[in-house]
Amino acid sequence: MGQDAFDEIMGTTGGPPPRAELAALGRWLSVTSDTELRRRQQSAEAAFRQLGITFAVYGDSDASERIIPFDIVPRVFLHDEWARLSEGLVQRVEAINAFLDDIYGERRILSEGVLPADLILSNPQFRPEIAGIRPPHGVWAHICGIDLVRTGPDDFFVLEDNARTPSGVSYMLENREAMLRLCPELFREFRVAAVDSYPDRLLEVMKSVAPHGVGAPTCVVLTPGHYNSAYYEHSFLADSMGIELVEAVDLVVDDDIVWMRTIAGRVKVDVIYRRVDDDFLDPLVFRPDSMLGVPGLIAAYAAGNVAIINAPGNGIADDKAIYSYMPDIVRFYSGGEAKLPNVETWRCREPEALKYVLDHLDEVVVKLVDGSGGYGMLVGPTASKAEIAAFRAALVAEPHRYIAQPTLALSTVPTMAERGLAPRHVDFRPFVLTGSKGVQVVPGGLTRVALREGSLVVNSSQGGGTKDSFVLMDDAAPMTQTIGGMTQSMGGGA
């Protein structure tokens, strides 16, 4: 696979040549010794370990907390590339918001026959408990992480949408900070858009969706607690936005209003960025055994007295069974074709698709429609005979639970491997914010890299790492922005 894939910096032998704009990065790689690159990489990882940016690996009892490996070679998006991507992302996220508003309201997309009704109505991610509730300002997916893959210079595809509580933004910010500190020469060479405004942008979005009539809204981050694998990110975001990090026990609902207990008494809460799943939001409405929830929260939300970010019920928009219909969903709500295409997808619930998938199990990638994190996934070309046999049995037994996609030749970026720089496959998660004033794309994101040679699985739970993602600015943009961003970022941490 690795030989045929498009390398974003070096180009491809017999394929697209290296991009001229990135020649300087190629030169930087050739003049900086591997020893020096490794030294910097270790320094970055030491800092991450010290900060406690760790994650828990499911099914690995030996190392319950690890840092996600960081790779020192950045991934770069050219200015015009980014402009095109942004247009596609805005269109997609607008459609996701319109879809959620419709599906929990009028359900026009079902009555007009664009989607099969049972696909939604029987889907556990469609939550009847909140049907008919409209979130403040009609915004549902305030923070979206849209996972993209690339197969050529102009070939980007959406791999999956994350409209619940996408994580990873702390890596975008910490990776940038590490790069500014360890490779300042790159920021002199390239005009890199700053990402350190993310917390301010997020806070602005949160305030913009506060219930009507609230002058200076109180915003909080709700975490399941410090045992959660993403706790670092929860505390990091609360800290960098300058708002309270709370757990369910810190919140009470009284008279359909949410209050936060503080040493100075109760403070009314207007906007909650929750990092807990729907099931654990309110034991009176969702799981009655939930100790993490806030009893009465959904009543306060239904009464329009609090905004919940992202809105409960959003899982129906990023379900993998819905994913294959996203081009239809985008067309239905935007009136135009999707600017960012999907990866071709076989819905195993359809008999013909199932037959094709069963006949090509050694070529395709099979995914559980409700799985995530790279669990419950088969990568045909690298799977063992036993794994293929197990998936074959599972597919025959419960075909509706699976989709399949072709194995894509994901683009590569030079990455520090055991024997020096080598191409490794990458994907990309940009973060898209939606407030009452519209949709914005943060100029950066999280690049995940599959560290094993030839591997296409980039999930951190499956041996993936991360890279900084540079978005190059228009030459006309004022240079001070980058420098300002650098200074600010460098002052903030390490």
Residue type, 38: R
**Can you read off the two tokens belonging to residue 21?**
């704009």
Place of tokens 């991934």: 75
Q: How far is the CB of 122 from other proteins (least distance, A)?
A: 6
Q: H/E element holding 485?
A: helix 480-492
Single out the residue of 44, 100, 130, 195 in contact with other proteins (rule: CB under 8 A): 130
Tell me: does residue 121 bind other proteins (CB under 8 A).
Answer: yes
Residue 83 or 291: which CB sits closer to other proteins?
A: 291
Enter the tokens of residue 323.
């994913």
Stretch that binds other proteins, among 75-83, 131-139, 268-276, 456-464 (CB under 8 A): 131-139
Dist CA 85 CA 79 (whole Å)? 10
- Stretch 79-118 residues interacting with other proteins (CB under 8 A): 107, 110, 117-118
CB-nearer residue toward other proteins: 70 or 126: 126
CA distance 361 to 385: 10
Interface positions, 279-338, toward other proteins (CB under 8 A): 283-285, 288, 295-296, 299, 302-303
By CB under 8 A, is residue 255 in contact with other proteins? yes
Angle (nearest 5°) at CA 44 between 41 and 47: 150
Which residue from 24, 252, 368, 394 is in contact with other proteins, where contact means CB under 8 A?
Answer: 252
Nearer to other proteins, 14 or 128 (CB): 128
99, 91 contact by CB (below 8 A):
no
- Write out the H or E segment, with its range, that includes residue 31: helix 23-31
- Which of 254, 337, 350, 362 binds other proteins (CB under 8 A)? It is 254
CA distance 446 to 468: 7
Cβ proximity to other proteins, 83 vs 249, nearer residue: 249
Indicate which single residue of 59, 113, 128, 213 sits in contact with other proteins (rule: CB under 8 A).
Answer: 128
Which H/E stretch holds residue 490? helix 480-492
Nearer to other proteins, 83 or 121 (CB): 121
Q: Which residues contact 272 (CB under 8 A, 6 or more apart)?
A: 219, 220, 221, 222, 251, 258, 306, 307, 308, 309
- Considering beta carbons, is residue 126 or 198 the nearer one to other proteins? 126
Residue keyed to tokens 């943060």 = 442
Query: Least CB distance from residue 114 to other proteins, whole Å?
Result: 15
Q: Is there binding between residue 155 and other proteins (CB under 8 A)?
A: no
Q: How many CA atoms lie within 13 A of 55 on its CB side?
A: 20
Residue appearing with tokens 């654990």: 280
The smaller minimum CB distance to other proteins, of residues 166 and 283, is found at: 283
DSSP states of 145-195 as a string? EEEEEEEETTEEEEEEEE-S----HHHHHHHHHHHHHH-HHHHHHS-BPP-
CA distance 342 to 346: 12
Size of the site for other proteins (CB under 8 A): 29
Contact stretch for other proteins (CB under 8 A) within 22-30, 122-130, 178-186, 455-463: 122-130
Which one, 42 or 262, has the nearer CB to other proteins?
Answer: 262
Positions that interact with other proteins (CB under 8 A): 107, 110, 117-118, 121-122, 124, 126-133, 252-256, 283-285, 288, 295-296, 299, 302-303
